[in-house]
Structure 1
Amino acid sequence: MVRQTPVSTLVLISGGGSNLQALIDESRRGLPIAIDAVISNEPQAYGLVRARDAGVATRVLCHRGFPDRQGFDRALMRLIDEFRPGLILLAGFMRILTPAFVARYRGRLFNIHPSLLPDFRGLDTHRRALAAGVRVHGASVHYVTADLDGGPVVLQARVPVLPGDSPEVLSERVLRQEHVIYPLAVRWFAEGRLVLGDDGRPYLDGQVLDRPRLLEDLTDRNQVV
């Protein structure tokens, strides 16, 4: 059933926040979320400026002030829970999350990753894709689990690798598609169409997603706006 009110949303960032900006822009165009806060583990992240310019509350929780990952995640959970979000989005959040954190927000925690998962998990995806000689690269939206970049993938965009591509050029091409697929997957969730089942599999419109949807295959305009 399609939800009637915007979903309270919190975004975690570490850097420039271009995916955050895409989400802000789409929320102004009718994406049914309300971005209540942006949290960064990096005090100088430009995404904080984007959030403030949009009138979104910001918080900084620097991981360097904690002796271990568990301590940081416990503090981050306390901070997140102050806002009681229905949806948490990782948008360039450069931290590996503990199993306790992931379990607390199961089914409402998403990430955007710059590769066609399960290929090229982790960092330096564009350089690694070029080194591997792949002809098609891309981006993936997935549920976050304790398995790094290993949660169920719900939507992907494929991007051709062109002769002469550098990691920087390829990154820009992939990033443009990230800005399309992240708001789209968020829309599916916010409208109640996308859920994570008790069996650990994603369901879209009541049907199990045995494989990720591809942006290029979504010809119905109701699916991509």
Structure 2
Amino acid sequence: MLTVAVLISGTGSNLRALLDAAADPSYPARIVVVGADREAEGLAHAEAYGIPSFTVPWHEHESREAWAAEVDAQLRVWNPDLVVLSGLMRLLPPSFVAGWAPHLINTHPAHLPEFPGAHAVRDALAAGATQTGASVIVVDDGVDTGPILAQERIDVLPGDTEHSLHERIKPVERRLLIDVVRRIAEGSLALDAARAASPS
């Protein structure tokens, strides 16, 4: 059984989708802990499912490295097989990434390498793109530059706003994430191989 930790900043919609999937006895992964960088709304999902959680407030640490070191210490208590970033709005320092890679994955609301960064949906609309998408990647030291594990195209419709387009992307992100975690757990998706195959 693959053990998973999830790190969040907000409402935790991807977290909730993973918790729902893991509630099925046939799903080969279990979430063992949820962490947040603030008193995030999504921690309520962990509580509802009886999953332990921790909070490491960003503002209480003098540097990104000090904050990440405390997050790392909390995760090491549980020693998960996989860490999922689920809307965590913090750039993790290289020391943290090196400690968990390649067992550190993230979702992104674009068809990478198109539109990396924090405003992917807005950027797609500003560029006049006719399609965008959703991706699941291995986290590396860049901004959304890690090996791509799964992705899917999504049409940009006439009249789309940032909100309407993002709302259509989210369910695809969740589905891709649930499938990627399943494939990692079943051994049909090897994260070490994905990293080795990624261009340096």
TM-score (norm 2): 0.95
Gaps of 5+ in 2: none
Higher helix share: 2
Of the candidates 27, 50, 72, which is equivalent to residue 45 of structure 2? Answer: 50
Report whether the alignment pairs 1:116 with 2:111.
yes
Who is 2:28 aligned against? Answer: 32
Instruction: State how many pairs are aligned.
Output: 198
- RMSD between aligned residues: 1.5
Deviations 1:24-57 (A, max 9, x none): 11112232111111000011x1110011001111
Deviation at 1:196, TM superposition (A): 2.9
Report whether the alignment pairs 1:88 with 2:83.
yes
Who is 2:98 aligned against? Answer: 103
Deviation at 1:199, TM superposition (A): 8.2
SS in 2 for 1:16: coil
Q: Using the alignment, how far apart are the partners of 2:54 and 2:191 within structure 1?
A: 28
Taking only the aligned residue pairs, the percentage that are identical comes to 36
Deviation at 1:179, TM superposition (A): 1.3
Gaps of 5+ in 1: 1-5, 203-208, 211-225
Report whether the alignment pairs 1:178 with 2:173.
yes
Deviations 1:178-216 (A, max 9, x none): 1110000111111112123368335xxxxxx89xxxxxx
Matches within 5 A, 1:96-175: 96-175=91-170
Residues 157, 198 of structure 1: CA spacing in aligned structure 2 closer, same or farther, 3 A cutoff?
A: closer
Of the candidates 59, 63, 67, which is equivalent to residue 62 of structure 2? Answer: 67
Deviation at 1:58, TM superposition (A): 1.0
Q: Using the alignment, how far apart are the partners of 1:94 and 1:49 within structure 2?
A: 18
Q: Using the alignment, how far apart are the partners of 2:131 and 2:190 within structure 1?
A: 28
Residues 199, 41 of structure 1: CA spacing in aligned structure 2 closer, same or farther, 3 A cutoff?
A: closer
Point out the more displaced range, 26-35 or 115-124: 26-35
SS in 2 for 1:31: coil
Runs of 4+ in 1 over 4 A off after TM superposition: none
SS in 1 for 2:42: helix
Who is 2:190 aligned against? Answer: 195
Q: Using the alignment, how far apart are the partners of 1:31 and 1:107 within structure 2?
A: 22
Who is 2:37 aligned against? Answer: 41
TM-score (norm 1): 0.85
Q: Is the 8 A contact 1:31 1:183 kept in 2?
A: no
Deviations 1:117-151 (A, max 9, x none): 11111111111101101111111000011112110
Q: Is the 8 A contact 2:137 2:148 kept in 1?
A: yes
Deviations 1:94-121 (A, max 9, x none): 1101111001011211000111111111
Q: Using the alignment, how far apart are the partners of 1:88 and 1:95 within structure 2?
A: 14
SS in 1 for 2:166: helix
Point out the more displaced range, 8-17 or 189-198: 189-198
